[in-house]
Chains A and B, each alone.
Chain A
């Protein structure tokens, strides 16, 4: 059980990266981005291309760091793929969502547009890479480290947690200290007021999509390292991400982090009693419970 909780924290950290982006976009642009899961898929596959295709062509050695399952290739691919997904995310907003925002389209149209974007991203991934399961590095799993209480954890997973932790710290510093971060928080509070105070809200929106996309890309790559790559991977994470976002209170970044961890643990612990394929269903049940008991989330932003 302790082991499942630890694995839950690992999965939860990945979900959290997604739901932080989701909650930022939700809070600032007031938009439920159904394409967020598939942005994660896109990140994972861009990194796959960089690791197995481009790096080999550039002649970057295919060595690994110590007992980790990856090396320089992934270390370089990771930030580049994050930037690429940030670009995709901004592009989707510029091409598809912004025209609808400008026309003040009905929420039904906005939701449909986002779901369409999700499938467009996934179809492009499937056309380019096919529907087979992929790995960044073929071969056997690295030996696990034995922790107290009989918990086996792979070195990859420890690094994964460190990466998520540092990304969250970076985001915290960005939101608290930088000018753009402050502008983002102001826009989340009240877009009209932010605009009349001279904040360029369009730029804020671009940054929001960019950060959300980059974090989703990172989450997708980490999921690919931890588990495997598949065209439907991001869509399977969409429900837990939304559940985490609602649980943490919409627009609340730190709530989304906690929500992500809770959803990760809930999903992994459920595998002790249910088939692992039921993980999305578990996320759904938890979400319904949240909606019934506390729809404003545990950190009750209350704003809706």
Chain B
């Protein structure tokens, strides 16, 4: 492979890692700072991708309409797509948080598995909603007229990076605010935060909604990168599990860790893809399972031997406390 090919490959690698970093940042608010277990990232991933896809594409017309059915098609710009994805994911987070956040913590975990599974089933079976299992194709790519199509990835890498950095800075700011300190207090000890007069339910809800909105943005970024989405992408393994591994590897409760974890784990994942290419032919069909097994064993090792991840949590919680 000549050098240009390698660079192009690294760029595509960085785009995907950047998108996953957005998810990891969203999860970090919920899990890292507030101690909420969201096992349904795939659901927000899915909704974010579909909502943005439908906001930015026109309603199919003519012959095309017979093959592609979708609930709506607004033909609006990419940025509106991102915001719409965040908004809808926020609403879903509220609906799932309402019955579960007052109860013990594992109920949220169970319920989020349920919502992700349910959303995937709905998108898979309801053709009128977003074309069922065939999914949506030909999603628009922002600023695509700037360069030739084969160089487009450079533009998209810039877009993903900008979104990621904006989200990163936003989280860093709010998490160092009094609001962020309440979240950490809840994670460490719910009862004593409640005794300090904090409305636990409301803070948990805000954290869940905030994190899920960011995941919606991540889903939208993914959709416009691949240009085609279908429900089979948003499985618990690919849509949820990998992101958890990224956060745990990088360091739960540390935004730098979330980003670094996303890049490191995505790199390991891709490397494992190369390695499993050398497997004998008979095993090739099962290569994805072997890759997932490697990633999971990695996770279990991290959980037992280095639960703080690569980075660990920053203990300095306020810029006033130097």
Residues of chain A at the chain B interface (Cβ within 8 Å): 32, 34, 96, 99-100, 103, 105-109, 111-113, 115-117, 119-120, 123-124, 126-127, 130, 235, 238-239, 242, 246, 275, 277-278, 280-281, 283-285, 287-288, 291-292, 295, 304
Contacts and interface: CB of A to CB of B under 8 A. Distances in A.
Given A117-B300, A280-B118, A281-B121, A111 B37 contact: yes
Interface in B265-303: 285-286, 289-290, 292-293, 296-297, 299-300, 303
B304 A100 contact: yes
User: Chain B interface secondary structure, helix, strand, loop or mixed?
Assistant: helix
Contacts of B103: 291, 295, 304
Contact of A287 (B104, B110, B290): B110
A98 to B, nearest CB: 10
Interface in B97-122: 99-100, 103-107, 109-111, 113-115, 117-118, 121-122
Contact-residue size bin, chain B (C-beta under 8 Å from the other chain): 35 or more
A127 B293 contact: yes
23 contacts: A34-B39, A100-B304, A105-B307, A107-B35, A108-B105, A109-B303, A112-B248, A113-B304, A115-B241, A116-B296, A119-B292, A119-B296, A123-B292, A127-B286, A130-B286, A277-B124, A278-B125, A283-B114, A284-B115, A284-B117, A284-B118, A287-B114, A288-B114
Contacts of A304: 103-104
Nearest to A126: B289
B156 interface: no
A88 B236 CA distance: 23
Most buried by B among A108, A239, A280, A284: A108
A106 B35 contact: yes
Interface of B: 31, 35, 37, 39, 99-100, 103-107, 109-111, 113-115, 117-118, 121-122, 124-125, 187, 236-237, 241, 244, 248, 252, 285-286, 289-290, 292-293, 296-297, 299-300, 303-304, 307
User: Chain A interface secondary structure, helix, strand, loop or mixed?
Assistant: helix
